Amino acid sequence: MPRIQSRRRTRSRGKRYLAIGLAAVALVGLALLLLRPEAAPIRAQTSFRTGAIKLLLDGRYGARFAGELAAFKQGYFSSRVEVSAQPEDPDFVQTITRQHAIGVTSGQNFLLASWRGVPVTAIAASFLDTSVAIFTLESSGLRRPADLVGKRVGYRRASEGDVVFDAMMAQLGLPRSQIVKIPDRDSFEALTAREVDAIITAIDEQPDPSSSTFVKLNVIKPQDYGIHVPGQVYFASNDLIHDRPSLIADVLQGIIRGWQFAYRDYAQSVPVLAGPAGLTTERLRFELQQQRPLVLPAGGRIGDYDESRWRTLRDILLFAKLGAEDVPLAQTVNYQFLRDVYRRSPDLAAPGAWSEEK
């Protein structure tokens, strides 16, 4: 009998030790799981699923972000959306992925970043065409691209303007080697001081008639010579698109209504937008007028880019040797979000939703 009881006690103690050992192993496994680096994105994803989403602007508040500002100020977003400017951020597209956000930047910046492997997708256009223009003094008589051969042109290196200008000249068969391009002389001050004969800059940068620096100008637009590329685009991190597709649609719908508000009646929109933009009402109205054809070209819909413009942008970036297309357009650009928004809300594209400015 004592021997049998001893065996029972030994087996009982063995079971307890086994249970304690298994519990210890489980605790160690749990600790290792929590310490794994890939656990961090899960916590981040939980926060962006439930909190406010960020809509970040690549630049200072101004007329070029009027649609986003109007949507925010007028309450057109049904989700919690925070709009903020991020000027001078050299890694703007990467910032969008880190913050699981929505952003707006130039088509060029977006596409080059996606080629480098940044996990983002374009979802709509802000400017359906490039805002790049070439300005000359009216008194110079330089009115066509061919007139610029042998002249001094101020520009900014590797900028959208630099790339679009070269593509335009190449398409026209004009000798780019005979154009003297001067870096960091793309200001209207350099043009009026005759340091250069022409400058490449954005259409909305020109002085307005009420400005003390106003001079009469000639404007050469690349669109008039067959260069059509997405100017500014809305895009989002792939994580956000995967986790909250309905939010993407909500933000796009709000932005469309924002642009409609901005242009429907300046008497209403300009006072609302001038404060956040930090511009006088006269200057804001002037910039809105300059960029209006970019927001809604004749026969188009707000935000509705097409594949041909993306192909043109891809081709001119490859021509400029600024990158290699490691990620195809089909994996980078989404057309369905915007189409679904217009399908579900046909009033957004109805004639009454958009009218000429008053």
Residues in the chain: 358
pLDDT at residue 50 in the model: 52
One-letter amino acid for residue 17 of the chain = Y
- d(C-alpha 153, C-alpha 151), whole Å: 6
Does position 353 have pLDDT exceeding 70, yes or no? Answer: no
Give residue 33's pLDDT band: very low, low, confident or very high (50, 70, 90): very low
Averaged pLDDT for residues 73-85: 94
Does position 357 have pLDDT exceeding 50, yes or no? Answer: no
Q: In this structure, are residues 128 and 304 in contact, taking their beta carbons and an 8 Å threshold?
A: yes
pLDDT, averaged across the chain: 86
pLDDT at residue 315 in the model: 96
One-letter amino acid for residue 113 of the chain = A
Averaged pLDDT for residues 258-279: 93
Give residue 2's pLDDT band: very low, low, confident or very high (50, 70, 90): very low
Q: How many CB atoms lie within 10 A of CB 213?
A: 10
> Considering the entire predicted model, what is its pTM?
0.83
Averaged pLDDT for residues 97-120: 97
Give residue 354's pLDDT band: very low, low, confident or very high (50, 70, 90): low
Q: Which residue has the tokens 């330089």?
A: 142
User: Which residues partner with 82 through β-bridges?
Assistant: 54
pLDDT at residue 324 in the model: 94
Q: In this structure, are residues 131 and 105 in contact, taking their beta carbons and an 8 Å threshold?
A: no
pLDDT at residue 38 in the model: 32
Burial 249-259 (b: 16+ CB within 10 A, else e): bbbbbbbbbbb
Q: Which burial class, exposed, middle or buried, applies to 103 when counting CB atoms under 10 A from its CB (0-12, 13-18, 19+)? A: buried
pLDDT at residue 276 in the model: 84
Considering only CA atoms, which of 93, 99, 95 is closest in space to residue 121?
93
* Sheet with 120-127: strands ordered across: 81-85, 53-57, 102-106, 232-237, 120-127
Does position 11 have pLDDT exceeding 60, yes or no? Answer: no
